[in-house]
Amino acid sequence: MELIKELPEVFEEFAEQRKNSFLGVKKLKEQGVPIVGAYCTYFPQEIAMAMGAATVGLCSTSDETIPEAERDLPKNLCPLIKSSYGFAKTDKCPFFYFSDVVVGETTCDGKKKMYEYMSEFKDVFLMELPNTQGEEALKLWKSEIIRFKEYLEKKFDVTITEDDIREAIKVNNAGRRSLRKLYEVMKHDPVPICGHDLFKVLYGSTFKFDRREIPAEVDALVEKIQKEYAEGKMLEKMPRILFTGCPVGGATEKVIQAIESNGAVVVTYENCTGAKSIDKLVDEENPDVYDALARRYLNIGCSVMTPNPNRLELLGRLIDEYKVDGVVEMTLQACHTYNVEAFSIRKFVNQEKGIPYLNVETDYSQADIGQLNTRIAAFIEML
């Protein structure tokens, strides 16, 4: 298998981005830049950006603080919630520590209750996310985005203009376009890079405080990958996997590693860190910026939505465009929405798309790595 020689250090830079941003967030704080932390892909980032704030994702991805979290939270709760709460409570997450406000959203029951406890030691702004995607839901979500804007204006004594929001929309759309170009390099067969390296860039880019920097960095990387591919540098041909399910990162990258160390390659990610958060742009032509933002964010196909046709639409498109041989879904223990929806995803993948599907349920410990490898190796063997 020939790996591209000059690229690994670039992927490692993106992989290290989260750690490097620990120092960056402190520096921003010292400069008086407001920091807004959030936990979800539904967070309308552009509103905070329009105020000149830096935004950062707060979902924790390690089991380090789970024992501390379990003093307050039940053991049979999703590890993402326990980890996030644990890092917040123990002040072990610099991003949470330096955040002036944390934005929550009413996605799942566990998170809603977590935000209640969290608000005892941090400013938490909770957005009422509808659990459907019709016109009435859109009205509610638009009013929540306006309420969030008014909250920021009052809290930080600023005025957020529609022109500021339009500018933030343009900046974020440019970043999404570039990241889309990056994951589209995986349409090549054989692929130019491994899926874990692709993930490092997608995940690392979420910790870039200046979103304006993303296009130049990512476009240069895409150009390099395409150039080297044209020169014949690529991986060998192997089964092509679509990765879907719960948010992935940190401890759960063990699933990506299990796929790629057993002879397959992840060609596309439907998860929050992948296509789900980059696929749709905000309509820059819509004169009503709040309507444009509400439509774009509400249309995300997350398992908290009932029904959830947008997830199936995106999955179907990715399966076709990336010539996928099999789908691996990762669900976290006690994540009820994704675990329940796994049944309809399996049915869709098997019956509508006619390809194999595997669901692996896991948590943030490393205890199940052997079992994961056994199950995933057998699945890939079958392909």
Radius of gyration of the chain (CA): 20
Q: What integer pLDDT is reported at residue 2 of this predicted model?
A: 41
Residue among 301, 372, 295 nearest 341 (CA): 301
- Contact (CB, 8 A) for 374 and 380: no
Q: Residue 20 — pLDDT band, cuts 50, 70, 90? A: confident
Q: Residue 8 — pLDDT band, cuts 50, 70, 90? A: confident
Residue among 294, 374, 361 nearest 329 (CA): 361
Average pLDDT for 39-52: 98
Coil, helix or strand at residue 117: helix
Phi, psi (deg, nearest 5) at residue 50: -65, -25
Among residues of the chain, what percentage have pLDDT more than 70?
A: 98
Q: What integer pLDDT is reported at residue 12 of this predicted model?
A: 86
Which amino acid makes up residue 175? G
For residue 268, what are the β-bridge partners?
Answer: 242
Whether the per-residue pLDDT at 3 is higher than 70: the answer is no
Average pLDDT for 254-266: 98
pLDDT, tens only, 314-323:
999 999 999 9
Task: Please calculate the CA angle 224-200-16 and round it to the nearest 5 degrees.
Answer: 100
Average pLDDT for 295-312: 98
pLDDT, tens only, 77-136:
999 999 999 999 999 999 999 999 999 999 999 999 999 999 999 999 999 999 999 999
Q: Residue 6 — pLDDT band, cuts 50, 70, 90? A: low
Q: What integer pLDDT is reported at residue 15 of this predicted model?
A: 82
